[in-house]
Amino acid sequence: MRTSLLAGLTTRGTSFLAAGAASAVAGYALGERGLFCVGIALLALPLLAAVAARRSQYRLATSRIISPPRVPAGHTATVTLRLENVSRVPTGLLMTEDSVPYALGTRPRYVLDKIERGGTRELTYPLRSDLRGKFEIGPLQLRVADAFGLVEVARSLSGRTTFVVTPRVVPLARTVISRSWAGEGDGRARLTSTAGEDDVIPRAYRTGDEFRRVHWRSTARHGELMVRREEQRWRNKATVFLDGRSLAHEGTGAASSFEMAVSAAASVGVHIAQEGLTGQFISDADVIRSSQFFEDRLLDSLAVIRPSGKRNLAQSLKELRASGAGVIIAVMGRLTVDEARQLAVCRGEGSQGIALLLEVSSWTEEALRAASPPVKAAAEITGGTAAPAASTPDRAAAAGADSAGADLTAAARPAHGTGIPAAPRSAGRRAPADSSAAAALLRSAGWHVTSIDASTPLAVAWQRLPRAAEMLVTAAAARRPDGAPA
């Protein structure tokens, strides 16, 4: 599309044109030849600069690297921009501006005096977001200016890079879910006996099996490599279940129970992946089956997850029952007794259930205002981390808050600076959920339960759970001699 020659004039260039026109007219009217010549010069200078700037079609190759491409909320990544002049002439004055979403801060701008023929320049700037999400960085905006600053010609260099901000990940203690759950060392025999597995029939060799586990007698009989099953590493599954219903959460923005639940699910998922367990993830919005890149897929999914408008857990609990869950770690919001009963039966024979129950009432604005100063400050920071950052485990201010009930809304309101809705605020009435009764019901069904309020760090609540060895002993003691659960 053809553009006007005067479209790229700066304020200085426009002033030159106005002054030149006024001088030329005045000189012509008054018969002052010198004044007329000055006016013509002032008129010609910005026009010639515009022609020169448009004819200088520099060929620039650009690349962008974000390191690391995925960071937890509140952490900083570094962007490296590389510009290479592949044209035959050196460039003039260049002004660059990278397109960055508003939630990540202001757009970085640089002024480059000149890039010689075949020369390169590297520009770096930090990226930081306190809100999770998936962002597009780019394209690079380039402005070519003349030496006098009279004309600027804008160009857009194609190329976008995805930057992912995941929920805040909290390191968790290994004593609750350790590598013994994966069937290594002495834990393998205990887990196998607990699950009732006693299969010694050889099976066909698979890629990755160790040759020291080959059963040579069966190999000679079948004519192919056979491996003894009881000598194979028994890998347990761990399924992370997230209650993402908007009706089950309170609070707004980063200081909401939904963001705390997302952070807890991310922390548990990363923990079980690092411990060598086969991970799965189930929520109202997404289901991630066991895969080699479970941790990456989980963080990518939780980076953009939104509160669900569903009013019950029927569909997601059906997925949980059909998954062959193994160890279940459920991160739950407001939970009624009926919903707790449906969740309890998802723990099958030989599996373990761990429930992280959020005391949702402690995330209401009234409860946060009445809480201790560190919690109140975390709630008022609009650009805080994806989970409320509390510094003390004091729970006295929020004790018993869940029994009071709260108003809820099915619609989610977007958080500041991102398209991800925050957890809903109160709007419509619903029957109050008794978290104490739900916790008692889950415990009676063999689940291990810990409660989390707005002032309790996730790591502290996680340490309240019994150790992995104690869980295994409890599971074995809960079984009747006939193999049925007690």
Summary mean pLDDT of the chain: 77
List CB contacts of 244: < 8 A, sequence separation 6 or more: 258, 261, 262, 283, 284, 285, 305, 306, 307, 308
Give rounded-to-5 percent helix, strand, coil for the chain.
35, 25, 40
Torsion of CA 189, 195, 200, 201, to 10 degrees: -150
Is the pLDDT score of 302 beyond 80? yes
Confidence band, pLDDT 50/70/90 cuts, at residue 222:
confident
* pLDDT above 70: percentage of residues in the chain: 73
Average pLDDT over every residue of 424-450: 71
List CB contacts of 237: < 8 A, sequence separation 6 or more: 277, 278, 279, 280, 290, 323, 324, 325, 326, 327
Confidence band, pLDDT 50/70/90 cuts, at residue 369:
low
pLDDT at 383: 36
**Residues 181 and 277 sit within 8 Å (Cβ to Cβ):** yes
CATH class of the region 179-192+234-477: alpha beta
Tell me how far apart the alpha carbons of residues 190 and 477 are, in angstroms, rounded to a whole number: 12
Confidence band, pLDDT 50/70/90 cuts, at residue 285:
confident
Residue 472 vs residue 112, higher pLDDT? 112
Is the pLDDT score of 366 beyond 80? no
Is the pLDDT score of 409 beyond 70? no
- For domain 60-166, which CATH number applies: 3.30.70.260, 3.40.50.300, 3.90.1150.10, 2.60.40.10? 2.60.40.10
**Residues 79 and 127 sit within 8 Å (Cβ to Cβ):** yes
pLDDT at 404: 34
pTM here?
0.68
pLDDT at 192: 42
pLDDT at 91: 82
List CB contacts of 41: < 8 A, sequence separation 6 or more: 20
pLDDT tens figures, 311-336: 899 999 999 988 876 789 999 999 99
Average pLDDT over every residue of 465-475: 67
Residue 336's CB is within 10 A of a number of other CB atoms, namely: 19
* CA of residue 357 relative to chain centroid, distance: 22
pLDDT tens figures, 38-94: 999 999 998 888 887 776 667 888 999 999 999 999 899 999 999 999 888 888 778
pLDDT at 367: 61
pLDDT at 216: 85
